[in-house]
Structure 1
Amino acid sequence: MNKIFEIPLYPYARSADQDAAAPVRRRVVVVGAGPIGLAAAIDLAQQGIEAIVLDDNDKVSFGSRAICFAKRPLEILDRLGCGHPMVDKGVVWDTGKVFFDDRKVYEFNLLPETGHEFPAFINLQQYYFEEYLVNRARELEAEGAPIELRGGNKVLKVEDKGDHTVIEIDTPEGPYTLEADWLIACDGAGSPIRSMMGLDFVGRVFEDNFLIADVIMEAEFPTERWFWFDPPFNKGQSALLHKQPDGVWRIDLQLGWDIDKEKEKKPENVIPRLKAMLGEDVKFDLEWVSIYTFQCRRMENFRHGRVIFAGDAAHQVSPFGARGANSGLQDTDNLAWKLKLVIEGLAPDSLLDSYDTERVHGADENILNSSRSTDFITPKSDTSRIFRDAVLDLSEHYAFARPLVNSGRLSVPCTYDGSALNSPDALPGGPARTRPGSPCPDAPLDEGFLLHRLGNDFTLLTINTDVPAELEESGIKVGSLSLYSEALDPALADRYLGDAETAVYLIRPDQHVAARWDKFDETATRAAIRRAIGKE
């Protein structure tokens, strides 16, 4: 058993707030020290915004849990200071193979183009991910950044008072009360805060169960995602295999609906299933076993006054497609810069409503894709199964059928089409992938990569035209990055120019495009900045 599960990374320690005569007011309190809560706190602290993280635990999650991290979240994590450590430790992959019965029907490449700093996906156990985030938070704290992790702090009650929240907390040394201007609830799928506030999910719970088993073994399988429909070792069901670091392999086996979950998790029942898949001669040790049920649900709204929900506390999807943690990281990336501007008085409170609108859109996109995957993986009727099996048979020989195969549409970054923060597209011939609302794709520069140069502030990116080195509008300072064709990598030209000869992009702090034009227009640019911060 991996000893990292047993190490208290943020053990309980009495804080000065517990001895104060009256409840202390904090700027932002984050509840939950999982990946999403830690990412939110780190993002805020790096921008100078105080973030106190409360968790009733004191160590990383037990079991590998979320393991697949996509390119866009890795780029976000790089801005938080831990993207490269994750890649260095993780298992890098981009190839997936799909099997039907005992035949490989096709394979796919998730990142067929070059010119990106980060890979399509890595596999890395969640406990490592959390450890890197804790290390980064500790590093920031040592540098004097306004971040604090409080283990052994269990939230008992939350009240929204209109201009702040009141939080009642229990500790090993007794209860205390804390106030916060803002509370970010990242306390997981079973979110106690959601329950305290009388809120719930809407959506679907699917009638099926899957066994997750992490096994330690030496195996000859390549570093790829393998998915089986109706394999000989799990007839009528499905299976998934992923490689992780340290010789750990993730295996998912569909079990069906009417099962005894506790019985199925017992080693004497798990091991025969794994031997049927891996072979009787393969030696392995069980590290972690769990059973999950597909759920594709979300809260109706992610913002409730001074309480904002993110990650699994706000939305749930089935694990196939790696859309859980990856989506949660995009939540915090969307939220942190907006909350900073509101706290600093540079944007109206209503800017946070765009977090709700944009990330509900992202959640709905994930739920739609996850639901479709679930319906394909687990057909709900004989007719659906006949159709599914016909698609799999055709995909072995005919390319037209392969896009219809759905073993889990893998996580992609969300484009905020229709967002009120977007300005109308004014770049004729511009690539669709960089239209307003879209995340900026990376591209090589003479030295390094584009996303590093964009950073996490508002930026004017210009190609083959000039803009002022810096512009200030409504208190927002906007820097510039000017590039020219003679030094332009073809990948960057393809992703940002398309058929245009010149381009000007206004990039948000979360590296989404707010506006774009074919030339610099100061009046239009200032209006787009105001719009992007909710002032127009």
Structure 2
Amino acid sequence: MTKIFEEPLYPYERSPDQDAPHAIRHPVVVIGAGPVGLAAAIDLAQQDVPVVVLDENDKVSFGSRAICFAKRPLEILDRLGCGQPMVDKGVKWEVGKVFFGDRQVYEFNLLPEEGHERPAFINLQQYYFEKYLVDRVRELQAAGKPVEIRGGSRVLDVSDKGDHVALKVDTPEGAYDLQAEWLIACDGAGSPTRAMLGLDFVGRVFEDNFLIADVVMEADFPTERWFWFDPPFNRGQSALLHKQPDGVWRIDLQLGWAIDKEREKKPENVIPRLKAMLGEEVEFELEWVSIYTFQCRRMEKFRHGRVIFAGDSAHQVSPFGARGANSGVQDTDNLAWKLKLVIDGNVPETLLDSYDIERIHGADENILNSSRSTDFITPKSDMSRLLRDAVLDLSEHHAFARPLVNSGRLSVPCTYDGSPLNSVDSLPGAPERTRPGAPCPDAPIGDGYLLRRLGDAFTILAINRDGPSELIEDGVCARLVKVPADDALVERYLGTASGAVYLIRPDQHVAGRWEQYDENAMRAAIQRATGREDRV
């Protein structure tokens, strides 16, 4: 059977724009048809914002690449209409085991509390993720939504003209000019867009390399995350094992800094390493091999005029903790609703500055956690290695040491503390986890779940309280979701309060909360959450 990453999904087709007498202007152009670019396009198209996606390729990514997807991005994908196929195909897991040398020192369980629709994590090859996103684009196109993917379209030049962005796009039939009111650059860690604008990253490159091998094999390993420190098959280094669908296993092996990357990727050098780990008798086939160097870096700003960066083009982290694609999807989740309001003329362009503030906060949080993980996994001095090994030894028999073991703190959603869009918290005794700026935790509601009810618009969530069916403030509509308090809602949203009224943003983050519905307070909170603070 032809492998999915060998099938063209959006082959080059000549666009009417190429025959126009002048450059055609589109409301939004996205560069990059990877997970982040496609998520941005779907989110905008669902809100009837016309969007064109440009990619020099015509198929999904080769190799599994990003494989570990956390609960919050899965919830975002539910809102985008493509979460279910991800969960159906993905391998669900919650148990992780940590090994030191040839012994297991402890295990942990990431199973979330009851009452969430989505699992803590799934493992799924990135090419499936991209395929499901393309399938969703096709569904939207069939429904008449304004979204287009142009394969075989490489962007040669980008220039911000103040009221629009000018692009030159190369195709198999020659180059043509294109314009965008807004440009979203989702063209990866090596972002040509970033280079064209003379921009760069700031941050840290770690002196270490890891071999990634996707291996097809029949194995009876359980569906768990296994991480080794100083294993007998890779002494002085570390290793990681993850199960994926279709009998594919992800193996990461630390190689050190001073290596010949091209030599290490050759099958004759990869296979002996894998046999040392798996055993000589295990039969396997290499599907994909790569080598990566740890980098924890980001752009100083993500928005540059009418060009906005998202995903790896804006920030990079080491892969431990599943923070790359997960954080990229959260970038677009934060951006799309703001860009929609700006394009519709309901709010000032300065609302987009909050994308910079909030997602740089998220990137810094990811970089901090990723850097700490990498420092623990790859100590660079004898003293730091001695301390690390002592923690691992203690963790086998002493629970207090286990939180100090850092084999990759796994991705959690960011809370936008200090965001200018947050209203003052006016719910005494309420849980910290649902303070303004926090993502809404899911909860069972009747025969469904809360996040499904919230959707992708401003929502007035009334728990044991009354409120209007909708409230329109300067063209922004907030609709009511009224629910009784059950145990999960009490624990997650009320605390000691008997009821509450929340204002929820379109990206399902809390904007404000109160004991009772107050129209003036709600209108002021909508003003603040849409970047019109001067009117509050």
TM-score by length of 2: 0.99
* Residue of structure 2 equivalent to 1:480: 480
* Residue of structure 2 equivalent to 1:469: 469
* Residue of structure 2 equivalent to 1:514: 511
* Residue of structure 2 equivalent to 1:491: 488
The answer to whether 1:63 aligns with 2:60 is no
* Residue of structure 2 equivalent to 1:268: 268
Q: Which amino acid aligns with 1:501?
A: S
Q: Within 2, Cα distance between the matches of 1:39 and 1:303?
A: 18
* Contact 1:464-1:483 at 8 Å conserved across structures: yes
* Residue of structure 2 equivalent to 1:287: 287
* Residue of structure 2 equivalent to 1:434: 434
Q: Within 2, Cα distance between the matches of 1:283 and 1:497?
A: 54
* Residue of structure 1 equivalent to 2:278: 278
Q: SS of 1:234's equivalent?
A: coil
Instruction: Give how far 1:112 is off.
Output: 3.8
* Residue of structure 1 equivalent to 2:86: 86
Q: Which amino acid aligns with 2:520?
A: T
Instruction: Give how far 1:464 is off.
Output: 1.2
Q: SS of 2:423's equivalent?
A: coil
Q: Within 2, Cα distance between the matches of 1:391 and 1:384?
A: 11
* Residue of structure 2 equivalent to 1:161: 161
* Residue of structure 2 equivalent to 1:316: 316
Deviation string 1:502-532 (CA, Å, 9 cap, x unpaired) is: 1110000000000001111111110000000
The answer to whether 1:39 aligns with 2:39 is yes
TM-score by length of 1: 0.99
- Matching of residues 149-188 of structure 1 within 5 Å: 149-188=149-188
* Contact 2:303-2:309 at 8 Å conserved across structures: yes
Unaligned runs of 5+ in 1: none
- Matching of residues 116-131 of structure 1 within 5 Å: 116-131=116-131
* Contact 1:231-1:237 at 8 Å conserved across structures: yes
* Residue of structure 2 equivalent to 1:334: 334
Q: Which amino acid aligns with 1:49?
A: V
Q: Which amino acid aligns with 2:494?
A: L
* Residue of structure 2 equivalent to 1:527: 524
Q: Within 2, Cα distance between the matches of 1:476 and 1:131?
A: 34
Q: Could you tell which deviates more after superposition, 368-377 or 107-116?
A: 107-116
* Contact 2:112-2:120 at 8 Å conserved across structures: no
The answer to whether 1:303 aligns with 2:300 is no
Q: SS of 2:28's equivalent?
A: strand
Q: Which amino acid aligns with 2:128?
A: Y
Deviation string 1:463-507 (CA, Å, 9 cap, x unpaired) is: 11111111111111111111123xx2x122210111111111000
Q: SS of 2:233's equivalent?
A: helix
* Residue of structure 2 equivalent to 1:6: 6
Instruction: Give how far 1:111 is off.
Output: 2.4
Q: Within 2, Cα distance between the matches of 1:264 and 1:122?
A: 29
Q: SS of 2:445's equivalent?
A: coil
Deviation string 1:188-236 (CA, Å, 9 cap, x unpaired) is: 0000000000000000000000000000001111001000000011000
Instruction: Give how far 1:2 is off.
Output: 6.0
The answer to whether 1:456 aligns with 2:453 is no
Instruction: Give how far 1:109 is off.
Output: 1.3
Instruction: Give how far 1:116 is off.
Output: 0.4
Instruction: Give how far 1:399 is off.
Output: 1.0
Q: SS of 1:350's equivalent?
A: helix
* Residue of structure 2 equivalent to 1:349: 349
The answer to whether 1:110 aligns with 2:110 is yes
Deviation string 1:29-60 (CA, Å, 9 cap, x unpaired) is: 00000000000000000000011000000001
Superposition RMSD in Å: 0.8
Percent identity (aligned): 78
Q: Which amino acid aligns with 1:273?
A: R
* Residue of structure 1 equivalent to 2:27: 27
Instruction: Give how far 1:143 is off.
Output: 1.1
Q: Within 2, Cα distance between the matches of 1:432 and 1:369?
A: 21
Over 4 Å off, 4+ runs? none
Q: Within 2, Cα distance between the matches of 1:421 and 1:285?
A: 51
Deviation string 1:379-428 (CA, Å, 9 cap, x unpaired) is: 01111001100111111111111111000000000000000000011110
Instruction: Give how far 1:7 is off.
Output: 0.7
Q: SS of 2:262's equivalent?
A: helix
Q: SS of 2:113's equivalent?
A: coil
Q: SS of 2:144's equivalent?
A: coil
Q: Which amino acid aligns with 1:215?
A: V
Q: Within 2, Cα distance between the matches of 1:94 and 1:114?
A: 13
Q: Within 2, Cα distance between the matches of 1:149 and 1:243?
A: 32
Q: Within 1, Cα distance between the matches of 2:474 and 2:381?
A: 58
* Contact 1:2-1:287 at 8 Å conserved across structures: no
Q: Within 2, Cα distance between the matches of 1:528 and 1:112?
A: 31
Q: Which amino acid aligns with 1:518?
A: E
* Contact 2:445-2:483 at 8 Å conserved across structures: no
Q: SS of 1:256's equivalent?
A: coil
Unaligned runs of 5+ in 2: none
Q: Within 2, Cα distance between the matches of 1:399 and 1:251?
A: 28
Q: SS of 2:14's equivalent?
A: coil
Q: Which amino acid aligns with 1:409?
A: R
